[in-house]
Structure 1
Amino acid sequence: MSSPSLETTRVDTHEHDLEKKEVVNEPERPHYAAWQWGLTITGLYLGSLLYGLDTTIAADVQVGIYERFGDIESLAWVGLGFPMASVSCILLLGKLFSLFNTKHLLNASVFVFEVGSALCGAAPSMNALIIGRVIAGIGGSGMYLGALSFFSALGSPKKLVLYNALIGVCWGTGAILGPVVGGAFSVSSATWRWAFYINLPLAALFAPVYIFVTPSFDPRPDMTFRQKLKTLDWLGSLLIATILVVLITTIAFVGSTFAWGSGTAIALWVVSGVALVAFSLQQYFAFLTTEDNRVFPIHFLKSRDQLLLFIATAGSATANAVTIYYIPLLFVFTRGDDPLDAAVRLLPFIVVFIFFVMLAGATLPLVGRYSLYYILGGALIISGSALMFTVRDDTSIGKVYGYEILIAAGAGMTFQNGYGVASVKVKEEDKSNAIGFINTAQIGTTALALAIASCLYQNLGVSALKSALSAYDLPTPLLQAALGGAGSDVLSSLPARVQEIVVSTVAHTIARIFGMSIAAGALLFVAALVMKHEKIDMAGAAVGG
């Protein structure tokens, strides 16, 4: 006969197994009607799609905007303002979603996004358009982060990776379709303005869902509104926004708009450095906040797991951003494509990226060994980017498609996994911090990567074109406009041999930008190698290695 203690142990173990099985098979928490849950997640995914669309839609509308407003020096802000505003408020929004009603914040974000989109579409000047892009960027960031927070709070733990993967698919699809949609409107009678107006009817269509169907969830019902406001780290939020705005501005414009040794360039670098030091000290000593309420999860810097996931996500986001922006531009110059045709060249990237994001989201909960995805993804990104680095103006279209497919597979396999893995590896009260941390890596790196790539493209491109066209003594603003596609009518008037040199030079410049993707893939690969080669339970904690 078994001893009582042994019987008790068996019963307890059996009950624990049943509880674990119930958690794994739990549909959602709490339970909602299928129609309500279906409409809600459709609305959330639409928001992510629109956010991705607006992140890159400026890539193929800048020519039309330049023709309408001129002001070539401010044109870069049309593309840069949106992601810069998004990343500047990510950490604050993450804190807001951990304190305030998720539905209310989500609806407020949609409203802000639509206000910004409306201003962009109706902009009477370049400055108004840029302001609209900044406003839309803030709202879009809230829509994206709200979807992640919603699923983390109310979705089934077992399905969390898949939900996050679908958010990544929607964002990635929108980001890839951005140049296509922008290009289509640019060459149509609707003009570039409808590239921004299109957000209004789509959001209006789902407004009843956002207002009446989406479940309401208050993560901290034990706190009053005033108490929640007091817990926010306002100084830290202001300082990190300052760092990101000034740093991105510095990277994007020094060397092109501002000379490297100019007073403006030096001032920008100094302000960036001072803001970084001030923020570091404020966070370390919890000045005007508390250790628990700091806007930046500083304790993650001591976590090997979180740091490596941050690095891996950043590497994937960099490869993704560079490919989306510069593959269409390559075809504009080397094949004479119009903006729409050039954007369609991304279709192989779109299909493969979506497939591998979905594949990773569906299989990771089953496989559990997340480091394998990052190792393979990093290797694919390095391979595809290294091949893109060899591209010249006469490289066949088929080869370029093959190279971008390799990058798409690697980026898709690693783009969205960090959210689910990072959330599993922290305590319940730290999940919102983990989401914000990975979101900073993904969206923040996208903004920084675009700024760095723009700086490289402008500086390397202008220098190379000056050398190639030295006999014609063309002014720098004209060469800058030519790099973006504007002003090409002037270059087309040059002798045929010179046009060939220009196309070859620009193609070589674009290829060199993929050095960023090689470095990003290498960083991702190294981070993956030093990750814990463990198996994790996506519905709970790590279960062994």
Structure 2
Amino acid sequence: MSQARPSQEHGDNPETQPGAPHLESQLDNEKTDDNNELPDTTAAYPPTRRTIAIMIPLFLTSFLIALDRLIIGVAVPSITDQFHSLGDVGWYGSAYLLTSCSFMMVGGKLYTLFNPKWVYLASLIVFELGSAVCGGAPNSKSLIVGRAIAGLGQACLLQGAIIIIVYVVPLHKRPQLMGLIGMVFGIACAIGPLVGGAFTSGPGWRWCFWINLPCGGIVFALLILFLQIPSKMLERKPETYREKVKRIDLLGATFLPSSVVCLLLALQWGGLEYSWSNFRVVIPLVFSGLLFIMFTIVQKWRGDAALLPSHIFRNRTVLAGAWFSFFSGATLQTLLFYLPIWFQAIKGSSPIRSGILILPMVIGIVVSSLSTGILTKKLGYYTQWLILSSVLTPIGAGLISTITPSTPGGTLIGYQALAGLGIGFGAQQPSVAAQTALPRKDVAIGASLMMFCQVLGGAVFICVGNNIFQSALVSNLASVAGIDLISVAKVGATDLRDMVPAELLPNVLVAYNAALRDLFYLVTGLACVMIFGALAVEWKSVKDKSKRQTQKKDPQALADADGTEAAGEKA
């Protein structure tokens, strides 16, 4: 190992640093292949120490994003007490979700037109601004505005980490880093309610948002110092900003977010605040469909300059990965949202304790996500993990749908762990598949599409699930004599025992459990259809693509890289 050539990834020779004249000259002399992909040689990427300095802030941002999704749930009671805003509770989550989901594809397009480093940092500033507005909000409306701003920034940060990894490490090493991102995300999901409870009980709920400011400052400083993306690694872009703006596809960037907003608003209101036949629900649904049709027409008209170019979406692996991501995200987010409600309502757990009780599922996700990252790096293939995920997840979700108030704790742990393992096996694989199936210049849009489908699936089916749960609960409670249906159906899960007379509580819990089981049947169905996407993904190896690119440009570099890899494995 001590005789490794200076251009190897672990070398510290300054000539191998990104942006160094030697590397720029080398990349300048390279001719890209048919996919506009530069050779995947180790000389094109930063050395290990710089890579670590880049990955730490990316991990930290992923942690903050996951934390920001869940931390507010525990803080809501304190927020509503201070602002007297119980009617606004739904918007604290919805405002964040609407902007995040709506502008995710727009963010992917920005990453293809501008330097990913500056797009990521600009998104971080927007996210931090939203957090600052939330932390200092004088009233409920200000808090909702802050959540919308934070969601807008988060829309570009989620896929940004994956996109930056493309320019930091070779393809065959990316699955392991993406597995680590999945692990960080899972840990944040696990401790989110605990951190939220600690802040709410201690310095106050505003620290649930202010915590993002110092952490974001650290991320900003580290990326400014260490992240350098050589210009030759980027697609050749127009010279002026005016030309770049023309390529953003402003029509597509208007129609798609508008369609998503209308859809989510209709699902948020339909069957709960208003009947499905009410014009406030029908009109958003109609507009959502019309706007999506207009978006599709614009994409065909714009061709390769579209927000979602047709040649990307027609790619078999990308289309299959998008399908898998949509239903996998729907399964994951619906379980994470409603399992704590089951523990709070049926077992009488506090919000913080319910967060602890779903740890078996979160740990399962973390373990399998990290394991698949490591194994994919060694084996090269990722399709088998998608298939395994689509087999284990329906089994775990189906077992969860059988739980009752008397189900033993050990059984609950096993069911959750199995579902978590299944979800984790497939969590990061669609993004890996997109990176393997697409040239570097299209990876930003491909990764954004996977993330968009994952988040949209959760957003849609959390709303659909809420409708199923509320309808089933009202129907089930109708058979319990002496119960105020409307009051019990709308009361929070933690307040259920305070509102229901002790002699009626067992029957009410049975009705509540049956309604949640109907919801878990839906989750099981969502998990079952993941298999269609998993089976359609092509069997391609990340190692094969890396070696083909390297051999085409520099056969000797391939031999050297293989020797270095083998030496590293022995060490």
Name the counterpart of 1:29.
44
**Distance apart, 1:176 and its partner CA:** 3.6
Name the counterpart of 1:13.
none
Mapped to 2, the partners of 1:179 and 1:509 lie a distance apart of: 24
Name the counterpart of 1:77.
91
Greater mean alpha carbon deviation, residues 294-303 or residues 216-225 = 216-225
Greater mean alpha carbon deviation, residues 297-306 or residues 142-151 = 297-306
Match among 213, 219, 231 for residue 226 of structure 2: 213
Name the counterpart of 1:126.
140
Q: 1:505 to 1:70 in 2, by over 3 A?
A: farther
Aligned 1:376-455 pairs, distance under 5 A: 376-455=388-467
AA at the equivalent of 1:434: G
Which aligned segments of 4 or more residues in structure 1 are displaced greater than 4 angstroms? Answer: none
AA at the equivalent of 1:437: L
Instruction: Tell whether the 8 Å contact from 2:268 to 2:463 is kept in structure 1 after alignment.
Output: yes
Instruction: Tell whether the 8 Å contact from 2:267 to 2:464 is kept in structure 1 after alignment.
Output: yes
**Distance apart, 1:463 and its partner CA:** 4.2
Mapped to 1, the partners of 2:243 and 2:429 lie a distance apart of: 34
AA at the equivalent of 2:426: T
Q: 1:538 to 1:91 in 2, by over 3 A?
A: farther
1:355 matches 2:348: no
AA at the equivalent of 2:204: T
1:271 matches 2:287: yes
Instruction: Tell whether the 8 Å contact from 1:424 to 1:540 is kept in structure 2 after alignment.
Output: yes
Instruction: Tell whether the 8 Å contact from 1:312 to 1:524 is kept in structure 2 after alignment.
Output: yes
Instruction: Tell whether the 8 Å contact from 1:83 to 1:447 is kept in structure 2 after alignment.
Output: yes
**Distance apart, 1:216 and its partner CA:** 4.6
1:527 matches 2:533: yes
Mapped to 2, the partners of 1:401 and 1:42 lie a distance apart of: 32
Mapped to 2, the partners of 1:53 and 1:61 lie a distance apart of: 12
Mapped to 1, the partners of 2:281 and 2:68 lie a distance apart of: 29
AA at the equivalent of 2:180: L
Q: 1:212 to 1:369 in 2, by over 3 A?
A: closer
**Distance apart, 1:461 and its partner CA:** 3.1
Aligned 1:119-518 pairs, distance under 5 A: 119-186=133-200, 188-216=201-229, 218=231, 219-220=234-235, 222-223=237-238, 224-284=240-300, 286=301, 290-465=302-477, 467=478, 471-473=482-484, 476=486, 478-485=487-494, 488=496, 492-518=498-524
Residues 472-505 of structure 1 show CA distances to partners (whole Å, capped at 9, x for unaligned) of 435x3x44541454x54xx525421222222222
AA at the equivalent of 2:335: T
Name the counterpart of 2:17.
none
Instruction: Tell whether the 8 Å contact from 1:176 to 1:324 is kept in structure 2 after alignment.
Output: no
**Distance apart, 1:293 and its partner CA:** 1.1
Please state whether the residue corresponding to 2:542 is helix, strand or coil: coil
Please state whether the residue corresponding to 1:35 is helix, strand or coil: helix
Mapped to 1, the partners of 2:473 and 2:371 lie a distance apart of: 38
**Distance apart, 1:98 and its partner CA:** 1.1
Unpaired stretches in structure 1, ≥5 consecutive residues: 1-21
Mapped to 2, the partners of 1:222 and 1:463 lie a distance apart of: 59
Mapped to 2, the partners of 1:163 and 1:211 lie a distance apart of: 21
Name the counterpart of 2:110.
96
**Distance apart, 1:222 and its partner CA:** 4.5
Greater mean alpha carbon deviation, residues 114-123 or residues 496-505 = 496-505
Name the counterpart of 2:545.
540
**Distance apart, 1:354 and its partner CA:** 0.8
Q: 1:313 to 1:472 in 2, by over 3 A?
A: closer
Mapped to 1, the partners of 2:510 and 2:442 lie a distance apart of: 51
Name the counterpart of 1:50.
64
**Distance apart, 1:23 and its partner CA:** 6.8
Greater mean alpha carbon deviation, residues 44-53 or residues 447-456 = 447-456
Residues 280-303 of structure 1 show CA distances to partners (whole Å, capped at 9, x for unaligned) of 22222x2xxx31110123334433
AA at the equivalent of 1:537: V
Q: How many residues align?
A: 508
**Distance apart, 1:236 and its partner CA:** 0.5
AA at the equivalent of 1:410: G
Please state whether the residue corresponding to 1:155 is helix, strand or coil: coil
Instruction: Tell whether the 8 Å contact from 1:183 to 1:340 is kept in structure 2 after alignment.
Output: yes
Unpaired stretches in structure 2, ≥5 consecutive residues: 1-37, 549-571
CA RMSD of aligned residues (A): 2.4
Mapped to 2, the partners of 1:293 and 1:236 lie a distance apart of: 10
Greater mean alpha carbon deviation, residues 450-459 or residues 248-257 = 450-459
Mapped to 2, the partners of 1:393 and 1:384 lie a distance apart of: 18
Q: 1:231 to 1:535 in 2, by over 3 A?
A: closer
**Distance apart, 1:462 and its partner CA:** 4.1
Residues 495-538 of structure 1 show CA distances to partners (whole Å, capped at 9, x for unaligned) of 21222222222222222222232122211123323444x35234
Q: 1:23 to 1:233 in 2, by over 3 A?
A: closer
AA at the equivalent of 2:203: A
Please state whether the residue corresponding to 1:259 is helix, strand or coil: coil
Mapped to 2, the partners of 1:213 and 1:537 lie a distance apart of: 26
1:116 matches 2:116: no
Mapped to 1, the partners of 2:130 and 2:116 lie a distance apart of: 21
Mapped to 1, the partners of 2:480 and 2:398 lie a distance apart of: 29
Residues 354-384 of structure 1 show CA distances to partners (whole Å, capped at 9, x for unaligned) of 1100111111233344332122111111111
Scaled by the length of structure 1, what TM-score is found? 0.87
Mapped to 1, the partners of 2:98 and 2:544 lie a distance apart of: 34
Mapped to 2, the partners of 1:457 and 1:97 lie a distance apart of: 39
Percent identical: 25
Mapped to 2, the partners of 1:421 and 1:364 lie a distance apart of: 11
Instruction: Tell whether the 8 Å contact from 2:45 to 2:167 is kept in structure 1 after alignment.
Output: no
Mapped to 1, the partners of 2:76 and 2:479 lie a distance apart of: 25
Instruction: Tell whether the 8 Å contact from 2:259 to 2:291 is kept in structure 1 after alignment.
Output: yes
Please state whether the residue corresponding to 2:529 is helix, strand or coil: helix
